[in-house]
Amino acid sequence: MPCPYSRLSPRAYPEEFAMRIAHYLNQFFGGIGAEEHAGKELEVRDGAVGPGRLLESLLGNDARIVLTLVCGDNYAVEHQDEVTASVVEKVRHANVDLFVAGPCFDAGRYGMAAGALCRAVQAELSISVVTAMSEENPGVDLNRDALYIIDSGTSIANMRNVLDKMARLSRKLVTKEPIGLPHEEGYLRRGWLRDQLVEKKAATRLVDMLLAKMNGEPFESEMPPTAFAPIPMPAGVKNLSRAKLMLITDGGLVPKGNPDRIEGTAATRWGSYSIEGRDDLRAEDYEVSHGGYDTRFVQEDPDRLVPLDALREMEKNGVIGKLHDEFISTCGRSNPLSNTRRLGREMAAKIKRDGVDAVILTST
C-alpha cells in the first residue's frame, strides 16, 4: 500500500505536476561501449538509461525520463550540426519540461557536445536545460555564460552526488524558483552579475575584509580579477614616410549635430568623418558626445583630441606618407567589453578596406 504521506515528502511537486525529461548520454554512459564505439551514430531509446535511472529516482516519483538520446563522442563532434538538429527535433516531439545532458566529468568531446545541445535546446525550445562537467572540460568555457553547468569534478565516483545537484537545480529551473549562487547550487560560475541586498553594508564588508586579510584569515574578494588573453604587439611600421595613417578617438568628437547619434555613455555606434582638404579642426564645426571627462578644452579646439594640425605638418614635412581622409570617432565612456569588441572589429574592417597602414588612437 502506498504511504499516504508520500505527497508531503520534500521532493513533492506542486499539484499533480509530472516532470517529463529528455536525457543525452555519450556511448560510454549509454552502455554501448568505450572509445572504440565513439563513432556511433545518434540513437534514441525510450525511458531512462544508465545514470538516467538514478537521476529519475533522485528527482522523485513524479519525474520521468521519457527519452534518452545516445551518441558516440566522435560522431557528435564531427557531425555537430546534424546531431544538434536531430536532437532538437526529437526533444521537441517528446514534449518535455527539461533537457539534461551528462554528467560529462572531464570528457572533452562529450562536454562540447552536451554544451552545444543544451544551448540549442534552450534557444529553440525555451525549456530548462542542465548539464554537468568538470571546470577543465573544454565544454565549460564555450558555454558557461549561457548554461547552468553543475561542477562534476573529474571523478565518476561522485556520480550520485553530481546527479543529486543536477536534480535539485533542475527542479528549481522547471518550477521557476529563484536560483541561488554557484556555491549554493553547485554550478560553475557563469560570469554574470546580479544585484542582491545583503545583510552587511559595504563599509562593514570593507573593514571585515581588511581585518581578515591582516590576520591571515581566509577572505573572499567580491570580484575575481579579470584576465584577458594578451594581445600581441603588431610589427612596427617599416617606413613611416610612405605609410598611410589614420586618427581614431574614443573621446566622442563628432560633427555639429552628432549625425550618427553616438551616445555619450556606452556608445553602440561609431562614425567616420571627412577631414579632406582641412589642416585644422574648427571649434564651430564639432561637438563632443562624452559625459565622462571635462570636454571644455576639446570643444575650444578639437585638434587637442584629434591632432589634425600636427599630422598635417608631419605630412608636409614628409615624416608620414599620408593622413587618411577620414577620422573615426566613438565614445569610450562606461562601455562594456561585449560592445567595444564589436565596435573594434567594425572599425578594423574599415581600416583594412581603406588600406590604412597605421593608426593613432587618442583617448581621454
Partner 1 sequence: MQLTLARHPVTDLRFDTPARLEGSILLIDRAELRRLVLEDESIVSVDFDIARPGERCRAGPIFDVIEPRAKAPGCGADFPGILGAPITAGIGTTHVLTGAAVSVLAEISPDPTRSATGRVLEMSGAPVEASEYSSLQHLIVIPHTKPGLPRQTLEKAYRLAGIRVAVEVARSAWNHLPTNLQTFEPVGPGEKGRDGRARVAYVGQIFSRQRKPAVDEPILYGANTDGMLPVMLHPDEWLDGAVVPSLHSWFGGTETYFYQNHPIILELYQRHQAREINFVGTVATIAGSDNFDRERHCRAAANLVKWNLNADGAVLSKYGGGLPHADLAETARLLEGMGIKTSVMVSDVSRDRRVESALLFNVPEVDAIVYNGGNGKQWEVPRVDRIIAATPEFTELLAGPMTIDASNIVGITNQQGASRMRAMVY
Interface residues toward partner 1, by CB under 8 A: 145, 179, 181-182, 189-207, 209-211, 213-215, 219, 221-228, 263-266, 291-294, 296, 333-339
- In the complex, what is the shortest distance from the CB of residue 181 to partner 1, in angstroms, rounded to a whole number? 5
- In the complex, what is the shortest distance from the CB of residue 264 to partner 1, in angstroms, rounded to a whole number? 4
| Contact between residue 6 and residue 50 where contact means Cβ atoms under 8 Å apart | no
How far is 178 from 275, CA to CA, in rounded Å?
Answer: 55
Nearer CB in complex with partner 1: 171/290: 290
Other CB atoms within a 10 A radius of the CB of residue 240 amount to: 15
| Contact between residue 12 and residue 57 where contact means Cβ atoms under 8 Å apart | no
Nearer CB in complex with partner 1: 83/118: 118
Q: State the sign of the Cα–Cα–Cα–Cα dihedral 117, 119, 124, 129.
A: positive
Nearer CB in complex with partner 1: 160/341: 341
Nearer CB in complex with partner 1: 68/335: 335
Instruction: Look up residue 14 and give its three cell numbers.
Output: 506542486
Residue type, 39: G
Q: Strands 271-274 and 326-329, how do they pair?
A: antiparallel
Question: Computed over its alpha carbons, how large is the radius of gyration of the chain?
Answer: 29
- Is residue 81 exposed (0-12), middle (13-18) or buried (19+ Cβ within 10 Å)? exposed
Nearer CB in complex with partner 1: 95/339: 339
Q: What is the dihedral of CA 323, 327, 332, 338, to 10 degrees?
A: -100
How far is 120 from 85, CA to CA, in rounded Å?
Answer: 8
Residue carrying C-alpha cell 571635462: 294
Name the DSSP class of 153. Answer: -
- In the complex, what is the shortest distance from the CB of residue 245 to partner 1, in angstroms, rounded to a whole number? 24
- In the complex, what is the shortest distance from the CB of residue 208 to partner 1, in angstroms, rounded to a whole number? 9
Nearer CB in complex with partner 1: 9/204: 204
How far is 58 from 122, CA to CA, in rounded Å?
Answer: 23
How far is 248 from 305, CA to CA, in rounded Å?
Answer: 10
- In the complex, what is the shortest distance from the CB of residue 53 to partner 1, in angstroms, rounded to a whole number? 31
Residues 6+ apart with CB under 8 A from 346: 270
Nearer CB in complex with partner 1: 226/317: 226
Distance from chain centroid for Cα 121: 17
- Which among 26, 73, 72, 25 has a CA at the least distance from the CA of 52? 25
- In the complex, what is the shortest distance from the CB of residue 216 to partner 1, in angstroms, rounded to a whole number? 10
Nearer CB in complex with partner 1: 9/339: 339
How far is 23 from 70, CA to CA, in rounded Å?
Answer: 9
- In the complex, what is the shortest distance from the CB of residue 182 to partner 1, in angstroms, rounded to a whole number? 6
Nearer CB in complex with partner 1: 241/339: 339
- In the complex, what is the shortest distance from the CB of residue 293 to partner 1, in angstroms, rounded to a whole number? 5
Nearer CB in complex with partner 1: 57/265: 265
- In the complex, what is the shortest distance from the CB of residue 271 to partner 1, in angstroms, rounded to a whole number? 17
- In the complex, what is the shortest distance from the CB of residue 336 to partner 1, in angstroms, rounded to a whole number? 4
